[in-house]
Amino acid sequence: MSPMKKQDLIRNFCIIAHIDHGKSTLADRFIQKAHIVSEREFHDQMLDNMEIERERGITIKSQAITIPYKAKDEKIYNLNLVDTPGHVDFYYEVSRALSACEGAVLLIDATQGVEAQTLSNMYMALENDLEIIPVINKIDLPGADIDRVKKQIDDDLGLDPETALLVSAKYGTGVEELMESIVERVPPPDGSENTAPKALIFDSHYDSYRGVVVHVRVFEGIIRAGDNIKLWSTDSVYKVEETGIFRIGLEKTKSLGAGEVGYLIAGIKVLKDARVGDTVTNADKPCNKPLPGFREVKPVVFSSIYPIDSNDYELLQMAMEKLQLNDASLVYEKDSSAALGFGFRCGFLGLLHLEIIQERLEKEYNLGVLFTSPSVKYRVTLRNGEVLYVDNPQNYPDPAKIEKTEEPYIRASIITPEKYLGNIINLCLEKRGIQKTMTYLDSKRVELIYEMPLSEVIYDFYDKLKSVSRGYASFDYEIIDYRSTDVVKLDILLNGKPVDALSQLVYRENAYSIARSVCKKLKEEIPRHQFKIPIQGAIGGQIIARETISALRKDVTAKCYGGDITRKRKLLEKQKEGKKRMKMIGDVQLPQSAFLSVLKRT
Amino acid sequence: MTLLDSNYDIALYVHIPFCRSKCIYCDFFSFVPPSVNEGIIETTIISILEELEYNLAMLPSVTIKTLYIGGGTPSLLSGKTLESLLRGIDLSLRRHNTEVSGLSEYTIEANPESVTRDFLEICSDHGVTRISIGFQSMSDRLLDILKRPGCCRDNFKSLELLESSWTGKKSGDLLSGIPTQKTDELIESISVLIENDFKHISLYTLTVEDDTELCQMVKNGSIEMPKAEEEEKMWFSGKNFLENNGLMNYEISNFAIPGYESLHNLAYWKMEPYLGIGPSAVSTMPASGDTDKRVDSSNIILRMTHSNDLVKYCRGRENNWGITTESIQAREFLLENLMMGLRLRDGIEKSLFRKRFGIDLFDILPMTDEFSDDPYYYRLEGDSRFMLEKILLSIQRYTEPLSSEQIHIQWPRDTDRGK
């Protein structure tokens, strides 16, 4: 019998699941079982440590933790759980986190069954050669249909349903067996400690005292404090100050060797220098080729952020810098608008990412901000042959000079119960979708593959999909290519003056309906003033939609006697507070919600 | 802190918190059967009289100018209970050296269906000079929508009774903007009151208050409020009709033939001291920081709000009638003065404002077009129904930075204070 290697006691795994299938709850159970945190310290969803994540119940950042586990063979294993983001906006981060593991727990909700993200995550896990352990979760719920899910595991996923484990993460049922299965079924990592080091960056975070903390999976060699390391994509060299593993905090170790998951601190100043997917090696004795799969994360949705109070521009700038420390996928540059003053043009991974940034600016930095209509990046070829990429309506060239415009397309995968098929096909058609395939996964459920413009998806597609399918359809997408399109710039005029921040680039055929709906929404959102305010939608000089906000009415005129004075005064004071959340555009006060309403076309 | 006792005027309010049923729009505080019975009502009335007696005894120097018994539905009281309430008030006032006949106004609220000859006679006998009746509308369909306890026939029956048995002043409440209401129906309702010699009419817009049945209904879509524009047009038709008949729009929702304005309510709008007695009633009174309650040392303004818990209230003095007290800061008081005063067509008297706050309004505000250039009054230039909210929002920008030291409050009036 060969001597026990250190690696034999390591298991690197992740949990992959569709949103809401119980990933974070299961992670919490693992941590509790390992007793590395006392019950008092334990709070729900340990791994999701950002306030917004906890509120939304979505994991945004990859997180890792090393859980000691004493298996039936009486040996203590280190189970490295790499928690992955749970939203399509963070597709690339998920793929990198998966490649740091040898195994994946594929979690399926016993009441919901296999969904679009279950499939796409499984394919991703297969691409990375991971051992997949199917787990049926939420078996405690009355609606749990284990037989049905087992059949789906067989039919849709092509996995052996007999290997599926039954778990209730909520009550801890089956968690012990699952941990034992991880030890038994996930192969231990291999790789030699005697060759040049090669480690994958699967995430990083910023610590205000230590600088950038890089999350790595070492595949070969060993990394120690004092080593000079090189980051492959930028060729930059740093000296390692500390290595360690993830407990509830960081736990320093002498080194990180092949097969281990942990962190390193190396005086890296800004997060974007530690790129997810990049390879870390020794600067003096480098490996000869990097790990596969690295690509730069490119934002796909663009929008400008302005402070509601123009005096807050510098505060906003500071907040953006700090946010970028924790969010390498956020990119921005200075921008200005005639209506809104100075701000930033920002790129996001998707609309959820945009909303998260907005919430963080408001909650963590207490800043009132406005976002302009999100846009994709168009590829514009001018008649003189010049090619431009345009994501800001203000920079859209004079149509007379344009030879052609192209827009990004996605491949969308939708899984739905058969009875919503008609609704969903109509929705996809409305969104200019081109059906590629339609596959019956079982007698009741269908997988649809559509190609459609990204610009149709970033607004309200997901909300509409949920509403036409009563929440049953699931959705996933990836960007495929650029295709020819017909785009016009839609301007919105308030009180006769165009508000540049409300302009958007839209598909010509949709311009009328979008203009009408934006005008209507603005009518609802803009408070009444002392005067009438016309709201108009226009292409070039041509008005294509119009609404009017009539002059202010009475609310304060409701009866007021001795009993209501305090309440009425407080109401007034509160209204004034609300006014701080408004932006003056000429004579018109525009509330933040007006900008938001333009984001969502319904 | 104790309430200041010196020679200033107060408006006295007594709240009777009982109704026959709850109207869908009402957020005033009242109990309806089966949670009340005659015994509970009698106990409450006894507590009200005790509270009144105690307060008047503690404030021997103040002068009661007006008295208003509101609700709830005071006319719901049985003849016997009403008799004992009014007699009790009468006695307390006498012990305070005030004759009911010396009040400048004594109002009681009533609902049409509970107005009886008996009720009117008892009120007359005890010196009530003004009756305010909540008609709301003269259409059965609209009264049904509002779940009013009475119907149109009750309205006309009460008008007949008033005609035969009431010699005092009359005021009527009407609503505009009731779902499905037509302008003609509103005008018809107003006409009925004018024909019956009502010289004071309150015309309110039906508003959706939080925590009312109406609010629920609007949220769940079972009722649809009229569009703002329609409602506005209707209210204006009402306003024009009233003014064409000589009832002037002296306050945002109140109309009167000159000389028939509600003196008691004017005291609220002018932010004069008022003492509220009864469950959920509110008082705003000057107080003294000194233990000698005759010394006005620090211009403290107290607002006291009664609990609406009948048990707490009826435990009486040992529980201070369930009152919670808030101290109104100078800046808040200034804002309240503007908020209330600018509701009036006459606005706020400049000299009074100067005396009260030690500053001129225009010392703190930039000159704005919203104010008329009347040398005696701060007054909104246009219709306060449209302007008040805006002006108050912008005024806060200028009043907010003021520190309490910059505002020298003399309230009620320096000439009336502890001399």
Predicted complex ipTM: 0.88
Amino acid at A424: I
Q: Between residues B198 and B403, which one has the greater pLDDT?
A: B198
B414 pLDDT band, cuts 50/70/90, is very low
Range with lowest mean pLDDT among A173-177, A305-309, B145-149, B235-239: A305-309
Q: Between residues A63 and B224, which one has the greater pLDDT?
A: B224
User: Quick one: pLDDT at residue A223?
Assistant: 96
Chain B positions contacting chain A at CB under 8 Å are 11, 13, 28, 202, 204-205, 207, 228-229, 231-232, 235, 252-253, 265, 268, 274, 276, 280-284, 303, 305, 326, 332, 335-336, 339-340, 343, 384-390, 392-393, 396
Query: Is the pLDDT at A232 greater than 60, yes or no?
Result: yes
- Note whether A492 and A503 are within 8 A (CB): yes
Residue B326 with chain A: CB contacts under 8 Å: 566
CA distance to partner chain B, nearest, from residue A522 (Å) = 17
- Note whether A452 and A428 are within 8 A (CB): yes
The answer to whether the Cβ–Cβ distance between B389 and A552 falls below 8 Å is yes
Helix (H, G, I), strand (E, B) or coil at A335: strand
Domain ranges within chain B, ordered by starting residue: 9-266, 334-416
Question: What is the phi-psi region of residue A368: left when phi exceeds 0, alpha when psi lies from -120 to 50, beta otherwise?
Answer: beta
CA distance A275 to A201: 7
A325 pLDDT band, cuts 50/70/90, is confident
Q: What is the mean pLDDT of chain A?
A: 85
What digits encode the pLDDT tens for the residues B57-103? 999 999 999 999 998 899 999 999 999 999 999 999 999 999 999 99
Q: Are strands A497-498 and A341-348 parallel, antiparallel or unpaired?
A: unpaired
CA distance A476 to A350: 12
CA distance to partner chain A, nearest, from residue B244 (Å) = 21
What digits encode the pLDDT tens for the residues B318-345? 888 989 998 898 889 999 999 999 999 9
User: Quick one: pLDDT at residue A554?
Assistant: 52
The answer to whether the Cβ–Cβ distance between A579 and B393 falls below 8 Å is yes
The answer to whether the Cβ–Cβ distance between A562 and B305 falls below 8 Å is no
Burial (CB count within 10 angstroms: exposed 0-12, middle 13-18, buried 19+), residue A39: exposed
Query: Minimal CA–CA distance to A110: which of A47, A169, A44?
Result: A169
Q: Between residues A559 and B313, which one has the greater pLDDT?
A: B313
Among A559, A567, A574, pick the best mutation site for testing chain B contact (most B Cβ within 10 A).
Answer: A559
CA distance B386 to A551: 8
Nearest by CB to B389, which of A556, A566, A573?
A556
The answer to whether the Cβ–Cβ distance between A553 and B232 falls below 8 Å is yes
Amino acid at A541: G
Nearest by CB to A550, which of B13, B228, B252?
B228
CA closest to A548 among chain B residues: B229
The answer to whether the Cβ–Cβ distance between A576 and B336 falls below 8 Å is no
Residue A563 with chain B: CB contacts under 8 Å: 28, 276, 280-282
CA closest to A560 among chain B residues: B340
CA distance B215 to B218: 5
B296 pLDDT band, cuts 50/70/90, is low
A48 pLDDT band, cuts 50/70/90, is very low
The answer to whether the Cβ–Cβ distance between B386 and A558 falls below 8 Å is no
Q: How far apart are the first and last CA of chain A?
A: 67
Residue A554 with chain B: CB contacts under 8 Å: 205, 232, 235, 252, 385-386
User: Quick one: pLDDT at residue A87?
Assistant: 62
User: Quick one: pLDDT at residue A34?
Assistant: 67
Among A530, A554, A582, pick the best mutation site for testing chain B contact (most B Cβ within 10 A).
Answer: A554
Q: Between residues B32 and B418, which one has the greater pLDDT?
A: B32
Q: Between residues A587 and A16, which one has the greater pLDDT?
A: A16
Nearest by CB to B282, which of A562, A569, A573?
A562
Residue A568 with chain B: CB contacts under 8 Å: 339
Characterize A353-377 residue by residue with b for buried, 16 or more Cβ atoms within 10 angstroms of its Cβ, and e for exposed.
Answer: bbbbbbebbeeebebbbbbbbbbbb
**Long-range pairs of B308-311 with CB within 8 A, sequence gap ≥ 24:** B308/B17, B308/B29, B308/B279, B308/B280, B309/B279, B310/B17, B310/B31, B310/B40, B310/B44, B310/B279
CA distance B93 to A44: 64
CATH 3.80.30.20 describes domain B9-266:
yes
Nearest by CB to A569, which of B28, B274, B332?
B332
Query: Is the pLDDT at B255 greater than 80, yes or no?
Result: yes
Q: What does the H/E/C string look like for chain B? A: CEECCCCCEEEEEEEECECCCCCCCCCCCCECCCCCCHHHHHHHHHHHHHHHHHHHHHCCCCEEEEEEEEECCHHHCCHHHHHHHHHHHHHHHHHCCCCHHHCCEEEEEECHHHCCHHHHHHHHHCCCCEEEEEEECCCHHHHHHCCCCCCHHHHHHHHHHHHHHCCCEEEEEEEECCCCCCHHHHHHHHHHHHHCCCCEEEEEECCCCCCCHHHHHHHHCCCCCCCHHHHHHHHHHHHHHHHHCCCEEEECCEEECCCCCCHHHHHHHCCCCEEEECCCCEEEEEEECCCCCCCCCCCEEEEEEECCCHHHHHCHHHHHHHEEEEEECHHHHHHHHHHHHCCECCCEEHHHHHHHHCCCHHHHCCCCCCECCCCCEECECCCHHHHHHHHHHHHHHHHCCCCHHHCCCCCCCHHHCCC
Query: Minimal CA–CA distance to B154: which of B169, B139, B175?
Result: B139
CA distances from A343 to A332, A358, A373, A501, B405 (A): 10, 13, 14, 11, 40
User: Quick one: pLDDT at residue B419?
Assistant: 36
**Going by C-beta distance under 8 Å and a sequence separation of 6 or more, which residues neighbour residue B59?**
B3, B5, B10, B275
CA distance to partner chain B, nearest, from residue A163 (Å) = 49
CA closest to B387 among chain A residues: A530
Residue B204 with chain A: CB contacts under 8 Å: 558-559
Helix axes A565-579, B384-399, angle to 10 degrees: 70
User: Quick one: pLDDT at residue A57?
Assistant: 45
CA distance B277 to B53: 10
Q: Please work out, in degrees rounded to the nearest 5, the angle formed at the alpha carbon of residue B418 by the alpha carbons of B415 and B419.
A: 70
The answer to whether the Cβ–Cβ distance between B303 and A554 falls below 8 Å is no
Nearest by CB to B253, which of A553, A557, A573?
A557
CA closest to B176 among chain A residues: A558
Question: Would you tell me how many other CB atoms lie within 10 Å of the CB of residue B110?
Answer: 23
CA distance to partner chain B, nearest, from residue A572 (Å) = 7
Chain A positions contacting chain B at CB under 8 Å are 528, 530, 550-563, 565-566, 568-569, 572-573, 575-576, 579
User: Quick one: pLDDT at residue B417?
Assistant: 43
CA distance to partner chain B, nearest, from residue A598 (Å) = 23
CA distance A225 to B87: 93
Q: DSSP assignment, residue A197?
A: -
Query: Is the pLDDT at A36 greater than 80, yes or no?
Result: no
Query: Is the pLDDT at A472 greater than 80, yes or no?
Result: no
A37 pLDDT band, cuts 50/70/90, is low
Nearest by CB to B390, which of A552, A559, A562?
A552
CA distance to partner chain A, nearest, from residue B181 (Å) = 18
Q: DSSP assignment, residue A50?
A: S
Residue B393 with chain A: CB contacts under 8 Å: 572, 575-576, 579
User: Quick one: pLDDT at residue B413?
Assistant: 61
Nearest by CB to B265, which of A557, A561, A568?
A561
CA closest to A565 among chain B residues: B336
Query: Is the pLDDT at A568 greater than 60, yes or no?
Result: yes
Q: Between residues B291 and A285, which one has the greater pLDDT?
A: A285
Q: Between residues A136 and B288, which one has the greater pLDDT?
A: A136
Helix axes B38-58, B79-95, angle to 10 degrees: 10
In order, the DSSP letters of A216-229 are: EEEEESEEETT-EE
Mean pLDDT confidence for B4-31: 90
Mean pLDDT confidence for A354-375: 86
CA closest to B278 among chain A residues: A563
User: Quick one: pLDDT at residue A50?
Assistant: 47
Helix (H, G, I), strand (E, B) or coil at A96: helix
Residue B387 with chain A: CB contacts under 8 Å: 530
Helix (H, G, I), strand (E, B) or coil at A255: strand
CA distance to partner chain B, nearest, from residue A581 (Å) = 14
Nearest by CB to B284, which of A551, A562, A573?
A562
Among B323, B386, B397, pick the best mutation site for testing chain A contact (most A Cβ within 10 A).
Answer: B386
User: Quick one: pLDDT at residue B108?
Assistant: 98
Q: Between residues A358 and B274, which one has the greater pLDDT?
A: B274
Mean pLDDT confidence for B204-231: 86
